[in-house]
Structure 1
């Protein structure tokens, strides 16, 4: 079959309106983070995604082809851990503290299959089961879609106040939105 025209634009699910997609592509969580990639629809039609920047794509979003047609994105089933327990908020905190993407439901959490996190969660009292299902975790705290480090989407806070810390704080981890300056400890006076 011939290739479809390229897609240079992503339309988020709420913005598609009454337009009906002409095709569908099913992608896993990692595959839904892209800028430029050749993809195949479920009908075996190839097309090139060529977006201006790397983008986190959600299930239900659509790639708009150059000729105006839409290709809907679906989330592929993949190996995940389904986490349940008495205190989901506490379990979610521990998952988030490890900067791990997490899908949050009313009575369960879903994370990618990871034996280390599974052991930690079981130790915390969770019930953890394996499943094959679409993984659609919460977006990043700053609305950028992925929990990959701490980014502010092209802006910085370098004009803010400076926090000065004494040297040798024994591995203190500081999370901030200004500048951190570590000063050397003053020399001990000669006695």
Structure 2
């Protein structure tokens, strides 16, 4: 079974050199250890010390030298908007207070669809629009998207590192 040695940050590797693609929704890309099934049916092994989200555009460098591109499947999301930047910040605080994964942009916040959260946003004066889109939320405060390394062990006597 082919093993992943490194996770290359999006934009740090030539995507035209990808020899395959792993496509999954948010749940399928937030993993610590599992067999990933590529679009061509091949299975590769992911084994990390800590669970992390595989971000769209990242490259999975395999032990045989190939690089697999990560893609995010579109899923049902809520686009949260507000009347002002201050109100959007307040809504972001409420979403964060509920520990929801969120993709934050200048004029909107994307979260996974939940009717209870939609009602809360409406009650706070915000706007919710259902959208179908890939979901790549912000990584946690203690996990860098591109700067940190997360070593993992393959049982071969060597330690390799991945990029968060």
- Which bracket does the TM-score occupy, shorter chain normalised? 0.7 to 0.9
Q: Distance in 1 between matches of 2:42 and 2:14?
A: 24
Shift of residue 5 of structure 1? 2.5
Larger % of helix: which?
2
Larger % of strand: which?
2
Q: 2:54 aligns with which of 53, 57, 62?
A: 57
Unaligned 5+ segments in structure 1 are 146-152, 154-191
Structure 2 length-normalised TM: 0.76
Shift of residue 23 of structure 1? 0.9
Counterpart of 1:158 in structure 2 is none
Q: Distance in 1 between matches of 2:15 and 2:74?
A: 27
Q: 2:29 aligns with which of 12, 28, 32?
A: 32
Q: Distance in 2 between matches of 1:63 and 1:103?
A: 22
Q: 1:20 aligns with which of 10, 17, 20?
A: 17
CA RMSD of aligned residues (A): 2.2
Structure number, greater radius of gyration: 1
Which structure 1 residue ranges, 4+ long, deviate > 4 Å from structure 2? none
Q: Which has the higher contact order (CA 8 A, sep 6+)?
A: 2
Shift of residue 144 of structure 1? 5.2
Unaligned 5+ segments in structure 2 are 151-164
Aligned length: 143
Q: Distance in 2 between matches of 1:15 and 1:118?
A: 36
